[in-house]
Amino acid sequence: MQYLFNNDLAPITDEIGFLKASICEVTNAYLEWMTPLKANVGISISKHILSVNLRQELLELLPLTSHGPKRFVFIQTKSKWCAYFDNSRC
């Protein structure tokens, strides 16, 4: 089996989600969906655009949490798909 970054970033890279949409569609839909849900419990959602390499983007997810993911990274692939990572320990 082949691992992303030789599994150096596990458990961040243990699970990868893929969505067949552009990064703009995915992030806009996510914000539209989650903003009102999180606002009801006093949590704000923000979007940050990172101009770094993939490894650095994934490191932005640290620290990991076992109480449900709190940070998410959506990455446009070279195809019509967008990859999804979060900071849960799995």
Please report, rounded to a whole number, the percentage of residues in the chain having pLDDT higher than 70.
Answer: 99
pLDDT (average), residues 61-78: 91
- On whether residue 4 sits in a domain, the answer given is no
- On whether residue 79 sits in a domain, the answer given is yes
pLDDT attached to residue 72:
93
Q: What are phi and psi of 40, to 5 degrees?
A: -65, -20
pLDDT attached to residue 67:
84
Do 18 and 24 meet the contact criterion of CB atoms below 8 Å apart? Answer: no
pLDDT (average), residues 42-47: 90
Do 82 and 58 meet the contact criterion of CB atoms below 8 Å apart? Answer: no
Confidence at 69, pLDDT banded by 50, 70, 90: confident
Domain count, the chain: 1
Domain coverage including residue 42? 16-86
- On whether residue 57 sits in a domain, the answer given is yes
pLDDT attached to residue 89:
84
- On whether residue 53 sits in a domain, the answer given is yes
- On whether residue 47 sits in a domain, the answer given is yes
pLDDT (average), residues 19-31: 96
